Amino acid sequence: MGQSVSQWLKMDQAALDALFSAHEAGPIPDGEARGTAIIAPGTSVSDEIAKLINIFAWQGKVFDGEHGFLRNTILPFGLKAIVAKVYKEPSWLDGKECIVLDYSDTSLLASHVRDEIRMIEPGLYLGKVYWDKTRLIDFALEFGG
């Protein structure tokens, strides 16, 4: 049975961390992904918060795998902004290889942000967001469909 983002919204933080740690980095993605913020995982408000964020702030990411960068899709009208470098290195969560989305040299606004993603199944990635070394939230990226 395949994973789904709606299942992830119901999982607690420990289960999301275990899911992330149980998978390899997978290939650096290419193309447009729909994003879902996972805030307050395992609580009754997680799904509603995710929907509000998708409408008003962050909708996803557009990857250029060949050139190793991405742009976030933000605001209600889908502005492509906030660039990150994309490469592989050890995860801050467990030390295993992950795909890093690094904003430190590409964005004044997000210069303290580091995202880490791993492929859970083809077209579906689970991510972790860090501010400096402090972990903030999780997120999902869905490619295609």
> What does each of the 145 residues of the chain score in pLDDT, given as a tens digit?
356 898 998 999 999 999 999 999 999 999 999 999 888 777 776 677 667 666 557 788 999 999 999 988 877 666 777 889 999 999 999 999 999 999 999 887 788 889 999 999 999 999 999 999 999 889 999 998 6
- What residue segments make up the domains of the chain, in order of their start? 5-143
The dihedral built from the CA positions of residue 22, 40, 45 and 73, taken in this order, carries a sign that is negative
Alpha carbon distance 145, 141 (integer Å): 12
Alpha carbon distance 31, 28 (integer Å): 10
Query: Which CATH fold would you assign to the domain 5-143?
Result: Porin (2.40.160)
